[in-house]
A and B are shown apart, each in its own frame.
Chain A
């Protein structure tokens, strides 16, 4: 889809912002340009739609050299969203979203229909917001409109320069999640700039890590975390890269079916016997219909008359799609150090334990030793 071939940029003042950058982004790939400020990531992005002219090398989109195209036509075919949004204050939300459709001379009806569709897509009820002005929206809403606008004429390729950078963490988190869902449906090819490693790991199919104008490593997030190419990458992803890697795994990847379960109908003596036989200190209690009830600990069974008396209800439970970092934090707060994984009907489908997670992470330990 996009090929950068030995692209470099030297600004008139002599700054070499990008050096000999070669990179390929496949169709439907979400590629995050990551790096500290001044590493050339934004420059690289802006060279794709020629907001910054390239000094050397070439950029091909679907095999066509961008230099050969009319610059405005080129840009109308590429969605563009920036951190400061840049909504036009004198135009309504619908008119803002239809910026590129207007430039492409779509009919008015088609423009409005498209604006309506996109507003709904970004989670803003179109009936309420179509004819509002940007100044009537909150920062998060403006950013949503910015995202909708860059999808205006349904371009196959999106360039996004820290589009969620200027909003509060809670809203940012929400917008990131929603945008990922949108991307799952639309399968756009995306070049996305951020300096936030967490955002990069969360959003990107691949991460292009840059430093001083050079591409250091272009890999999928898991590889970047588990096999950092050099010291810089390791430092940039952070000492907690193992923990960050947890976010890339879901509970379903690690959970095990519990070996010991009981219904509350079993007697206290039977249960003590089962536990002692296996040398375990707890087991999970499940109702007749398979619903998860909680934990029964060996220590609570002494002197108890029934299992329900000894039951410790679980404080939190995970779903199969819960990211492991969240599951780990639940485990730290759990009485038994385990977290039950429940499906939509509260059926127990697995257990997460430290042991299982450690096994997954053990590959990382090895790469640490090198």
Chain B
């Protein structure tokens, strides 16, 4: 059966590439949106005196994660339909993936900013850094690697969930899987599954590399010793 799946993959590489590209597009758009929203929200809730808001936001984001993807797609379809927006295709899927991606990003941003050594903050303020300068020059450079770890987690997770999005006509690597299931074509199902898995593994590796690249040299050296 593996051989059949392999046979399918080498026979229709262009099809497979097209699906992969669609898949990647959905995941990239959704996670780009999740990073922008998640980092901004994470930065805001990490501010002074917002501990309770932070807890609330992170709790809400965790609840979001517990909603099964099909159910979330359904809810979003209803909302989009009511707003007379396209309720099938890429839009509901991208929105759902954005929502799923928020939790790891908000949580990591919040944790990273909160865990900056208070001595550094005191020293920075004591030397006359404004709140914004402290955030941009001290806190964010130290937080970025942690935030990227959250993004990495979100992307890998979303690659899996995006496959279900094909059910709504969003395209992507879910297509061969659903088509195979409908037509008793195990080779198609397997080809899709293998491709999704490979995409997830490769994304994970690439993101691990990016994470290392954005880790400030001084912090990297510190970890080694």
Q: Using a CB–CB distance below 8 Å, which chain A residues touch chain B?
A: 49, 51, 71-77, 80, 82, 84-92, 99-100, 103, 133-136, 146, 149-150, 152, 159
Residue of B nearest to A104 (CB): B128
B119 pairs with A84, CB closer than 8 A: yes
Q: How far is the CA of A150 from the CA of B127 in the complex (A)?
A: 8
Interface string of B195-225 (1 = CB under 8 A from A): 0000000000000000000001111011001
A-B contact pairs, 25 of them (CB 8 A): A71-B128, A72-B128, A75-B126, A75-B127, A76-B127, A77-B128, A80-B123, A80-B126, A82-B122, A84-B118, A84-B119, A84-B122, A86-B123, A88-B120, A88-B124, A89-B216, A89-B219, A89-B222, A90-B142, A103-B127, A103-B133, A135-B219, A136-B225, A149-B127, A152-B127
B126 pairs with A49, CB closer than 8 A: yes
Where chain B touches its partner, the secondary structure class is helix
User: Measured between C-beta atoms, what is the minimum distance from B67 to chain A in Å?
Assistant: 38
User: Measured between C-beta atoms, what is the minimum distance from A94 to chain B in Å?
Assistant: 12
> Interface residue count for B (Cβ, 8 Å)?
26
B138 pairs with A133, CB closer than 8 A: no
A90 pairs with B216, CB closer than 8 A: yes
User: Measured between C-beta atoms, what is the minimum distance from A43 to chain B in Å?
Assistant: 13
| Contact A136:B221 (CB < 8 A) given known A51-B122, A82-B119, A90-B141 | yes
| Contact A51:B126 (CB < 8 A) given known A85-B119, A91-B218, A134-B218 | yes
A135 pairs with B218, CB closer than 8 A: yes
| Contact A75:B128 (CB < 8 A) given known A88-B138, A103-B133 | yes
Q: Answer yes or no: B15 CB below 8 A from chain A CBs.
A: no
Residue of B nearest to A93 (CB): B218
Within 8 A of A (CB), among B156-196: none
B124 pairs with A86, CB closer than 8 A: yes
Chain A residues with CB under 8 Å of B14's CB are none
Going nearest first, the 6 A-B pairs with the smallest beta carbon separation are A135-B222, A86-B123, A133-B218, A90-B216, A84-B119, A75-B128
User: Measured between C-beta atoms, what is the minimum distance from B90 to chain A in Å?
Assistant: 39
B130 pairs with A72, CB closer than 8 A: yes
Chain A residues with CB under 8 Å of B222's CB are 89, 133-135
User: Measured between C-beta atoms, what is the minimum distance from A148 to chain B in Å?
Assistant: 13
Within 8 A of A (CB), among B94-127: 117-127
Q: How far is the CA of A135 from the CA of B126 in the complex (A)?
A: 22
Q: How far is the CA of A57 from the CA of B32 in the complex (A)?
A: 52
Q: Answer yes or no: B28 CB below 8 A from chain A CBs.
A: no
A103 pairs with B125, CB closer than 8 A: no
Interface string of B122-151 (1 = CB under 8 A from A): 111111111001000110011000000000
